[in-house]
Amino acid sequence: KAGVTQTPRYLIKTRGQQVTLSCSPISGHRSVSWYQQTPGQGLQFLFEYFSETQRNKGNFPGRFSGRQFSNSRSEMNVSTLELGDSALYLCASRLQGAQGEAFFGQGTRLTVV
Amino acid sequence: GQNIDQPTEMTATEGAIVQINCTYQTSGFNGLFWYQQHAGEAPTFLSYNVLDGLEEKGRFSSFLSRSKGYSYLLLKELQMKDSASYLCAVKYGGATNKLIFGTGTLLAVQP
């Protein structure tokens, strides 16, 4: 069965622009979480969606937002991009209620110039 | 806070055994995960512990002590392909799938 799919894989944007990243979870997985990974900070939790509702949010500014659609696909948006937003953005999907692992996508490498 | 602490880097020799430690704050603990991440790739699941004790899976084992807020990942018969970053992640609370990650331990396996 297909894994978690993130698009695009690579993205270059200019400061001040906005960007939308997409994540398609594993079929049947209704929980989607987003993480930002940078060399200095490691993986940091952005937000979690389940059944189109944001269930949890990390300590990121309001420029970071997301949503989930009825087919469980999720998007995250970053507005007014800053240089410090350059990172690998990872999406993870999970079966609701499962004690098992979260499955990660390959990520989107965002570079802000 | 919910700091997850693990060593930044480790070096080991092919064929040897290495133990990567992870400490975390115990309040609200609801499970601990270990992930492996090769450079430029997605993290992949290695192990999950929610009860005290040792979980063995092939060459990899993971141990948990909930009272001490301590876990370790044990890698046996090291191979060159085990060179990667190893991430410790903790789930806190109930109805959430949010994971708090450590910054990862970069393991270099040398011939």
Average pLDDT of the residues in A11-18: 98
Cα gap A89→A108, rounded to integer Å = 5
pLDDT per residue as tens digits for the range B59-79: 999 999 999 999 999 999 999
pLDDT given at position B3: 86
- Out of B31, B41, B101, closest to residue A43 by CB: B101
Average pLDDT of the residues in A29-39: 93
Q: Cis bond leading into A8, ω under 30°?
A: yes
pLDDT given at position A102: 87
pLDDT given at position A98: 54
Amino acid occupying residue B5: D
Tokens of B27: 């309040």
Per-residue pLDDT 10s for chain B (111 aa) are 578 999 999 999 999 999 999 999 998 898 999 999 999 899 999 999 999 999 999 999 999 999 999 999 999 999 999 999 999 999 987 667 788 999 999 999 999
pLDDT given at position B1: 55
**In contact, A72 and A29? CB cutoff 8 Å:** yes
Which pairs from B57-61 meet CB under 8 Å and 24+ separation? B60/B34
SS3 A83: helix
- Out of B31, B42, B96, closest to residue A56 by CB: B96
Residue partners of B30: CB distance under 8 A and separation at least 6? B50, B91, B92, B93, B94
pLDDT given at position A7: 97
pLDDT given at position A1: 60
Tokens of A34: 């987003």
Counted across chains A and B, CB pairs separated by less than 8 A come out at: 60
* Residues of A with Cβ-Cβ distance to B29 under 8 angstroms: none
pLDDT given at position B40: 86
If we measure between CA atoms, which residue out of B98, B15, B24 comes closest to residue B64?
B24
* Residues of B with Cβ-Cβ distance to A100 under 8 angstroms: 45, 48
pLDDT-above-90 percentage for chain A: 80
Cα gap A7→A105, rounded to integer Å = 10
pLDDT per residue as tens digits for the range A76-101: 999 999 999 999 999 999 886 556 68
Average pLDDT of the residues in A27-55: 91
Which residues of B fall below an 8 Å CB-CB distance to A?
31, 33, 35, 41-45, 48, 50, 87, 89, 95-104
**In contact, B43 and B99? CB cutoff 8 Å:** no
